[in-house]
Amino acid sequence: MHATLTGTDVSTSALALGCARLGSALTPLGRRECIALVEQAFQLGILHFDTASVYGQGDSERFIGEALAAHRADVCIASKAGQRLTSKQVLMSQFKAPIRWLAARRPNVRASVSAHRAQGVPRCFESDYLEHSLHESFKRLGTDYLDLFYLHSPDLEVLSDDKLMTRMQGLRQRGLFRAFGVSCDEIEVAWAAAKHEAVQVVQFAFDHSEEHHALLEMLAINGKSAILRGFVHAPTEDKAPGTALSRSFAKTLHLPAVRGLIVGTTKIPHLQQNVAAFERAVNDGALHGT
């Protein structure tokens, strides 16, 4: 279940918990429930926790920090920077509890919040801002370093900014993070990241297409790691509960460069099902391509 990110000393679990919904106004979990979910994930053997500065308006990082404070040296915390909340979103975050209560009970409120979220947030990849955002993440997480630091959904031109990328290398050399990556929304950005000498990890949504398989081959050739999110199950004829998911994990885990799969959930039973399916895949020899 463990994997080492290629070219780094970061060793973690191949199954990662995606924490984008922790602290969200649309997630019917309060602080205690979010912390309990992260704690349960750790107890089940998940050591890789994926978050970002803007997730839950910062609450995702806060809850992860609280839940894992006693286990910091044992886990891989990955976070991202490059997006920033609008003034309206900052204001709304102060009323998150009543908004969450209303969204859970009134469809029109939930629809309104969803529509606002769909508008996205501004992006900023100025080097000073990224370093400031990194230190703010440290405060929320209760740590002084990240195991994995990503640029959060940059455009192609960001990766061509040599001064910025040199600055990121300098931050890594100073020990602010152990590995540097790019979390990609567009496949063109993922290809550019796969070829960039400063990038060690590329995160993207995998769909089993020929282009995505080719991208994994390129990452492997260049000695980089792939962390896959938005996990789309590979086709399978199995109908037994859990078997199809296990086979899907197996089909993906042995692919070139793959060092982690991100699964996101807010329900402990669903988390347990994912971990059980993953463990079956590993026990059946998934990491050896069988």
CA–CA distance, 152 with 134 (Å, rounded to integer): 12
Which is more confident, 38 or 24? 38
Q: How far apart, in whole angstroms, are the C-alpha atoms of residue 47 and residue 63? A: 15
* Residue 90 falls inside a structural domain: no
- Domain CATH for 207: 3.20.20.100
In a domain, 12, yes or no: yes
User: What would the pLDDT profile of 156-209 be if each residue is shown by its tens digit?
Assistant: 999 999 999 999 999 999 999 999 999 999 999 999 999 999 999 999 999 999
Report which of residues 65 and 26 the model is more confident about: 65
pLDDT of res. 12:
95
Q: Where are the beta strands (DSSP E) in the chain?
A: 2-4, 11-13, 15-18, 48-50, 76-81, 146-152, 177-183, 201-205, 225-229, 258-264
Amino acid of residue 31: R
Mean predicted confidence (pLDDT) in 108-120: 71
Positive or negative, the CA dihedral 245, 250, 255, 260 is positive
Res 103 pLDDT > 90? no
**287, pLDDT greater than 70:** no
pLDDT for 123 beyond 90: yes
Q: Which amino acid is present at 223?
A: G
Question: What is Dmax (Cα atoms) for the chain?
Answer: 53
Minimal CA–CA distance to 179: which of 1, 11, 51? 11
Is 192 a domain residue?
A: yes
Q: How many domains does the chain have?
A: 1
Write out pLDDT tens, residues 46-79. Answer: 999 999 999 999 999 999 999 999 999 999 999 9
| C-beta separation of 71 from 45 below 8 A | no
The verdict on residue 99 lying in a domain is no
Asked if pLDDT for residue 28 goes beyond 70, the answer is yes
What is the Cα–Cα distance from 141 to 159, expressed in whole angstroms?
A: 27
Q: Which residues contact 245 (CB under 8 A, 6 or more apart)?
A: 233, 273, 274, 277
User: Which carries the bigger pLDDT value, residue 98 or residue 37?
Assistant: 37
* 93 within some domain: no
Question: Do residues 75 and 115 lie in contact, with contact meaning Cβ atoms separated by under 8 Å?
Answer: no
Q: Tell me which of 96-100, 147-151, 231-235 is least confident.
A: 231-235
The single-letter DSSP state of residue 104 is: H
Q: Is residue 168 part of a domain?
A: yes
155 lies in a domain? yes
128: containing domain: 2-85+121-288
109 belongs to a structural domain: no
Three-class secondary structure of residue 33 per DSSP: helix
Share of the chain above pLDDT 90, in %: 71
Mean pLDDT, to the nearest integer, of 144-154?
Answer: 98
How many angstroms separate the CA atoms of 53 and 60, rounded? 8
pLDDT at 61: 98
For a pLDDT cut of 70, what percent of the chain falls above it?
Answer: 88
Per-residue pLDDT at 247: 86
197 vs 233, more confident: 197
CA distance 155 to 123: 10
Q: What is the mean pLDDT of residues 140-145?
A: 98
- The β-bridge relationship of strands 11-13 and 2-4 is antiparallel
